[in-house]
C-alpha cells in the first residue's frame, strides 16, 4: 500500500494512499465550460477506481511540471496566471531563479516555460512531519491563459468549523491525482502526464491513523489491492474532486508516501 501526504494554507493538507485493484470502466467528466475555473478544453476520461493511466490531451489544463535546481521534478497546479501551488518540500530553501514551471503540455518540461520570481512556503511547514506541506510559486511572467491548453483549478470553499473537525474531504470520496512521477519505485519517468483515481480514507482506518500527523490538515486516500500509485516525482501535483457544479476543485497536493506499487 502507498501513503502520500500533503498540506494546505487555503486547502486542507493531503495524505494519499495509492493502490489499485482490477480495471473498471471509463468515466467521462464533462465540465461546465462557462465557469472561470476547474474546466479544461477537453473532458477528462478516467478509469474509475483503477487509475494509473496516461491523461488525455488538454484534460488537466492546470497541471504543471516543475524543474528544480536542474535535478528535481515536482508537480503543481495553476491557481491564476501568475500563481502555482505545489508541495513545500519541493521548493523549501530553493532560490526562485532555480525553479522553472512548464504549463499547457502533457509532456514534462514542455509548453509555456516560466521562471519563478518568488516562493512562499507555508509559515507552519514542518519538514520532519510534512505538516502544512504547501507552497506558492509566483511566476516572473504571467502565463498566457488564452491558450486552449491552459486553465486554472478551482479553490474549495470550506468552513473553518468543518476543517477543524477534520471532516473534509469526507471518507469514500473519489478523487483524481495527476503527475509525471516514476511508474515504479526507482523507475524511469513517463513521457506523458499520468492520472490515477482513488478514494479518501477515514482517518480512523488503521492504515491511515498510523501515518496521519494531523487530520485537520492532512487526509489519506487510496484503494486496497496493489497496483499503481503516486511515486517519486509526483510531489506537489494536484489532488482533485469533481463537484455537482461540474467543476474540478483542488482538495490538496501530493506530499509523501510509503514506497510505490
The full set of domain ranges for the chain reads 63-139
Three-state SS across 187-256? Answer: CCCCCECEEEEEEEECCCCHHHHCCCCCCCCCCEEECCCCCCCCCCCCCCCEEEEECCCCCEEEEEECCC
The residues carrying an active-site annotation are: 89, 133, 235
pLDDT surpassing 90 at residue 134: yes
The whole-model pTM stands at: 0.85
Q: Which pLDDT score is estimated for 24?
A: 52
Q: State the cell numbers at 30.
A: 464533462
Pinpoint the alpha helices (H) of the chain: 88-91, 160-164, 206-209
Cβ atoms within 10 Å of 123's Cβ, excluding its own: 7
Q: Which pLDDT score is estimated for 231?
A: 54
Q: Which pLDDT score is estimated for 167?
A: 73
**96 with 114: CB under 8 angstroms?**
no
Q: State the cell numbers at 250.
A: 483542488
How far apart, in whole angstroms, are the C-alpha atoms of residue 9 and residue 207?
A: 25
pLDDT surpassing 90 at residue 144: yes
Cβ atoms within 10 Å of 121's Cβ, excluding its own: 21
Q: Which pLDDT score is estimated for 11?
A: 44
How far apart, in whole angstroms, are the C-alpha atoms of residue 212 and residue 4?
A: 10
Cβ atoms within 10 Å of 192's Cβ, excluding its own: 13
Q: Which pLDDT score is estimated for 123?
A: 96
Q: How confident is the model at residue 154 (pLDDT cuts 50, 70, 90)?
A: very high
35-56 average pLDDT score:
81
157-174 average pLDDT score:
82
Half-sphere exposure of 95 (CA within 13 A, CB side): 4
Phi-psi region for residue 160, left (φ > 0), alpha (ψ -120 to 50) or beta? alpha
**236 with 75: CB under 8 angstroms?**
yes
Report the DSSP beta bridge partners of residue 74: 66
Architecture of domain 63-139: Beta Barrel (2.40)
Mean pLDDT of the chain: 83
pLDDT tens-place string over residues 59-115: 999 999 999 988 888 999 999 999 999 999 999 999 999 999 999 999 989 999 999
How far apart, in whole angstroms, are the C-alpha atoms of residue 62 and residue 51?
A: 19
Q: Which pLDDT score is estimated for 199?
A: 85
Work out whether strand 248-253 and strand 238-242 pair parallel, antiparallel, or are unpaired: antiparallel
pLDDT surpassing 50 at residue 228: no
**24 with 172: CB under 8 angstroms?**
no
Amino acid at each position: 500500500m502507498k501513503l502520500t501526504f500533503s498540506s494546505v494554507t487555503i486547502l486542507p493538507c493531503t495524505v494519499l494512499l495509492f493502490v489499485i485493484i482490477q480495471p473498471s470502466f471509463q468515466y467521462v467528466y464533462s465540465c461546465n465550460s462557462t465557469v472561470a475555473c476547474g474546466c479544461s478544453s477537453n473532458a477528462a476520461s478516467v478509469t474509475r477506481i483503477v487509475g494509473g493511466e496516461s491523461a488525455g490531451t488538454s484534460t488537466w489544463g492546470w497541471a504543471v511540471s516543475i524543474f528544480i535546481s536542474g535535478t528535481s521534478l515536482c508537480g503543481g497546479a495553476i491557481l491564476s496566471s501568475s500563481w502555482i501551488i505545489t508541495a513545500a518540500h519541493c521548493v523549501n530553501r530553493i532560490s526562485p531563479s532555480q525553479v522553472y514551471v512548464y504549463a499547457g503540455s502533457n509532456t514534462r518540461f514542455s509548453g509555456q516555460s516560466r521562471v519563478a520570481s518568488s516562493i512562499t512556503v507555508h509559515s507552519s511547514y514542518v519538514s520532519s512531519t510534512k505538516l502544512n506541506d504547501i507552497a506558492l510559486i509566483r511566476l516572473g511572467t504571467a502565463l498566457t491563459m488564452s491558450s486552449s491548453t491552459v486553465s486554472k483549478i478551482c479553490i474549495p470553499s470550506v468552513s473553518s468549523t468543518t476543517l477543524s473537525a477534520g471532516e473534509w474531504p469526507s471518507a469514500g470520496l473519489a478523487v483524481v491525482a495527476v503527475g509525471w512521477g516514476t511508474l515504479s519505485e526507482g523507475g524511469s519517468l513517463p513521457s506523458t502526464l499520468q492520472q490515477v483515481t482513488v478514494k479518501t480514507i477515514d482517518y480512523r482506518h488503521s492504515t491511515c491513523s498510523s501515518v496521519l500527523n494531523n487530520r485537520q490538515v492532512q487526509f489519506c486516500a487510496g484503494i486496497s489491492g496493489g497496483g499503481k500509485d503516486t511515486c517519486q516525482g509526483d510531489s506537489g501535483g494536484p489532488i482533485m474532486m469533481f463537484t455537482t457544479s461540474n467543476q474540478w476543485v483542488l482538495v490538496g497536493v501530493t506530499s509523501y508516501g510509503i514506497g510505490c506499487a
